[in-house]
Amino acid sequence: MTTGRQAFPTPDHDHSQCAASALAHAEQVCRDRGQKFTPIRRQVLQALLASHRPLGAYEIIDALARDIARLAPITVYRALDFLMAQGLVHRIESRNAFLACAHNHDASAVVAFLICDSCGSVGELPAAGLAKGFREAVQGTGFAPKMSVVEITGTCAHCQRAA
């Protein structure tokens, strides 16, 4: 997982290498876990890997329809559910969209998503300190948290420099 200024890839990074590396990571994760990385799951992940922006399910369907027969929404949602269960995709709640992830996360990992309002890119940062603070704040309330998502909107450094 990236930290600090590396949360967002530089605009001139080799995106084809970035996407290929993420796809190889997904193949390895599925192989290690004995999970099937079916052609549909691969295609959905590849659509998400086309950029560092989150996509909604219907945007994924539209992107894939350029190369293959149009998929039913349920097919894409099932693929997304599988990819999220494997930690290969995150859901960006505020955007009702999905983002490919090439980082290794354990089940208790908490991440913060940095969402650029200008370019739409999303950076990912470890948020263990925030998670600890949340656990301490919730402790003793009788509330049993199921999921916590940290999303921070603003402007990435690349867009700030360009402005």
Tens of pLDDT, residue by residue over 7-35, are 777 777 777 888 899 999 999 999 999 99
Q: With a cut of 80, say whether residue 147 has pLDDT above it.
A: no
* Band (145; pLDDT cuts 50, 70, 90): confident
Number of domains in the chain: 1
**Which stretch of DSSP H or E encloses residue 83?**
helix 73-85
**Range(s) of the domain holding residue 32:** 10-162
Backbone angles phi, psi at 6, to 5 degrees: -90, 5
Say which residue, 4 or 65, is predicted with more confidence: 65
- Is residue 2 a part of any domain in this protein? no
Q: With a cut of 60, say whether residue 3 has pLDDT above it.
A: no
Phi-psi region of 88 (alpha: psi -120 to 50; beta: other; left: phi over 0): alpha
* Band (2; pLDDT cuts 50, 70, 90): very low
Say which residue, 130 or 88, is predicted with more confidence: 88
- Is residue 34 a part of any domain in this protein? yes
- Is residue 3 a part of any domain in this protein? no
Give every CB contact of residue 109 below 8 A, 6+ residues apart in sequence: 126, 128
The identity of residue 70, as a single letter, is R
Amino acid 51: pLDDT? 83
Say which residue, 87 or 134, is predicted with more confidence: 87
Q: Cβ(75)–Cβ(31) under 8 Å?
A: no
Say which residue, 78 or 148, is predicted with more confidence: 78
* Band (108; pLDDT cuts 50, 70, 90): low
Query: Distance (Å, rounded) from C-alpha 52 to C-alpha 12?
Result: 13
The domain that contains 40 carries what CATH number?
1.10.10.10
Amino acid 100: pLDDT? 94
- Is residue 4 a part of any domain in this protein? no
- Is residue 153 a part of any domain in this protein? yes
**Which stretch of DSSP H or E encloses residue 122?**
strand 122-126
